[in-house]
Structure 1
Amino acid sequence: MLQPTFSNQNDERLTRSIEGSLSLMSLSDLIQWIEGSKKSGTLIATNDEYTRRFFFQDGRLIFVWCDQEGQQLYDAIRDQFGLSMERIMEALKQSEELGISFIGLLSSEEGIPLERLGGLISTLAEQSLTTSLAWRTGSFRFSDFLPAAVLCSPVNIKPTKVLLDSTVQIDEARLIELSSLDPVLNEVYELIRKGALDIPPLPTEMQLLMDKINSPGLTIDQIIECLTDPLLVSKILRVSNSPFYGRRGKVGTLRDAVVYMGLKSLMSIVTVNALSGFSPQHAEEIEQILHHSMMVGMIAKQLTRDMGGNHDQAFVCGLLHDIGWIVMLEMLSKYDLDKEKRDYLMRVHHTTLGALVAKKWNFSDEIQEVIKNHHLPEKAEAYQQLVQIIYLSDQLAKNESPLPDDVVSALAAHSGEWAAPFADHLEELDREIDSILSAG
């Protein structure tokens, strides 16, 4: 029986290595360390059934080798390109002996386009890494040894992107497992999956304002006529006077606030006010969501202003990015779900449901795109920079330390500086938002 020759990494080759138990240090933590430290080397992960080898160069995943059926590279090459198993193993052995790229050798000698080989290996690598991330037991070993046969690879995968994608997939698998045991959860899951949801209508005060905005010959006085709720007026004035919103002079009247904020920002404040009473039984949770959303909006506005972009648009998108959480809280209250099941549903599906709500409520395309992809900005089909700004602002608003490496890099690329303007003032911003949301 043919054996994968990458299994011959012996102790002499693994001169500098770390090893341990996956129950103490997860693959997720290892991968983030490898990427963040830009490590080059081989990560060997083993559980009771399988052994997998992941090859990294400067923190990027470039090659994979595993023994699980359906994820074996030599089987995939045989099936896709029609090469015999003997020829594949011969090429692998030859590449190891000569110290040259296995993929490059196959491409040059068999006439297989390098792009197709790279695409095949990328797919297998992502599959192997995703399924491995679910391992809770086993062992690992990481060494700085990198076989010459895996070098010059066209594969260049960012591991933390796979990690983010796999989190959703693992949650989805867990949710399906739970739903098979609970008919109520299964019903909710199917409604979300099929998009067959009873999405609530636009709140009345929002509808009135939107009708006015869409009417010809709109005047400031007509807008003000719609703003009769004292609590709403107080919120509008507090936001427009907030130092974090960017106003230097005092805004003393509602008219001045409407002129200064503009219709988009005004509409977003009206939305927040309407959503604050959307589900009275979840008032405390909704306030926490709105607090976070307001912080994301303020940070996004500042980031975009520093970059010379449309900061009002960024504020609106930040304020509305988590609207799906609020709608799901009310929707799921109709079902007898424990907190674990409810939280799985909301975490996995709040972006999808939020995008459906935004579409029904006739929100702009950029708001819909942000709501749908603010956790995975690389998946955005449009408004990519705006989506990434909201992703960065979301991470900054969480005030976690240290920030993920991709956030630090993106901030440096966008604004040329660190997150210091926010890190130094988050507590003050936190108090300011408390004041805005409690206005009355």
Structure 2
Amino acid sequence: MPAQSPFDLAEGEPFGPHTLPYGVFTTAEAPGRRRLGVRYGHHVLDLSALPDALPSVVRPAHAELLAAPSLNPLLGAGRAVWQEVRAAVRAAVTAPEHRTAVAPLFHTLDAVTLHLPFEVADYVDFYSSEHHATNVGRIFRPNGAALPPNWKHLPIGYHGRAGTVVVTGTPVVRPNGQRKTPADAAPSFGPSARLDIEAEVGFVVGTPSALHEPVGLDAFRDHVFGVCLVNDWSARDIQAWEYQPLGPFLGKSFATSVSAWITPLDAFDQARTPPPARDFPLLPYLDDADGEPGGIDLRIEVALNGERLSSPPFSAMYWTPAQQLAHMTVNGASLRTGDLFASGTVSGPEPDQLGCLLEITQGKGPYLQDGDEITLTAWAPGPDGARIGLGEVTGRVLPAPDLGTVSAAPPQEAP
């Protein structure tokens, strides 16, 4: 039976001409040569070869960007170039007159190796779901207020570790660390017993900004290139002991998984939606009442070992990505090409819409076991009934390394 043409997409295919996400791949024939690609159905279009194949469609000035081994040069080129390249790619895969020239540039997905698509500059993670924050507050502070007093006035976040952002499929090694429950007389050291996930959405910065120049809400599209799924793996027992008073640290920094595909922000124009109603007036730099709808109607699914676990709705997020970016830079902090900022755990109001095991089990567990595999998938509504896909994020838990005497209890001083 002849192989299916890469131009023939199945009905409802989420990676069609309205999506066109970017990634980086290698082939078995050239494992040391990383190339930019665009996913189209179950194929990858080699962007490095597109300028030569379609010189009348791809501008010569863009050839060097498309020949790079990562997305960063394209990210830094700015929105006008992003739109020109996207239009050229769409023409390449949809115009019948280009099929003969473009067909040899496709590789099947199962014949390539996917890599981290961009070099991560900085990583910031937010805490922007009211449902998640309320649920966690009730678990950790059963006798106090679920939300801290600042929560509805600003997007809370923390600065993460860019060096441990890994591409989907990378195994996640159970971290070692200090743990102490209220019932313990002293902290102990060893593998996390409460390893968790956080289903999140990430935003990749393209155009940088200057130091001391905040990025306003209306400049969001000029700086953010695209969207990806994120799993912010979390060691809850390590986190609970360390996080006061400065917040997440080793309980988060051991691994953050992202998709191999970055879906352009412009692909979600049909999915823009207003965020939930605000309870308080917002300060001017966060007030989006008169701007375009800042939310995105993303439908996420979380699967544990192949079985659906929950379906968190991104449209329920209290703080939008544009507000997150505005707050992140309002003090004058600059953006760099390759910055990644994530939404924080996405959760909805229903029991089957929770984005982490801490919420799903109300803090009681069970948490992830060695060998468990978590997969995040998502899509958004597109034009004419199309679906806009986000590349999946998958990670399998491996046992913690044996650190030997590091785990031994320290000697006690004599009374």
Higher strand share: 2
In the superposition, the TM-score normalised over structure 1's length comes to 0.23
Task: Determine which structure has more spread, i.e. the larger CA radius of gyration.
Answer: 1
Higher helix share: 1
